[in-house]
Structure 1
């Protein structure tokens, strides 16, 4: 996969862990399969725009934050 998948995967993992969520919890709240969360975090698949929206909503960020190559302030 390319650099965008790696950026999204790193951001999802970082935000998920900052919020104290497991992959299972994030998947349940977003209404998607836990396996898919792992694949996104490992940059093994590309998340759709709809998926980015669901993940962002659960993580409490704007969807664009998942595409940001820079760390957001804590």
Structure 2
């Protein structure tokens, strides 16, 4: 079983691609750095709640739906 960080990273990449955004575009829209988005997608970092809410807003999904998909 993959760790939570890896599962979140895969889900983030999937949602970002569905929205048609590059890592750079997502990062800019969230007020984050592209390298941070890259680290999230590779499972090297975990988002704070604030970051999770920012990402969810830009991707037009609810934060709870992201968490639910990780269960």
Q: How does 1:15-34 map to 2 (within 5 A)?
A: 15-34=15-34
Two-structure CA RMSD over aligned residues (Å):
1.5
Per-residue CA deviation, residues 15-56 of structure 1 (Å, 9 max, x unaligned), is: 000111000000000000110000000000111111100000
Give the drift of 1:11: 1.1
Give the drift of 1:10: 1.1
TM-score, with length taken from structure 2? 0.88
Structure 1, unpaired ranges of 5+: none
Contact 1:7–1:66 at 8 Å: present in 2 too?
no
TM-score, with length taken from structure 1? 0.85
Are 2:7 and 1:10 equivalent residues in the alignment?
Answer: no
* Moved beyond 4 Å, runs of 4+: none
> How many aligned residue pairs are there?
69
| Highest RCO, 1 vs 2 (Cα 8 Å, sep ≥ 6) | 1
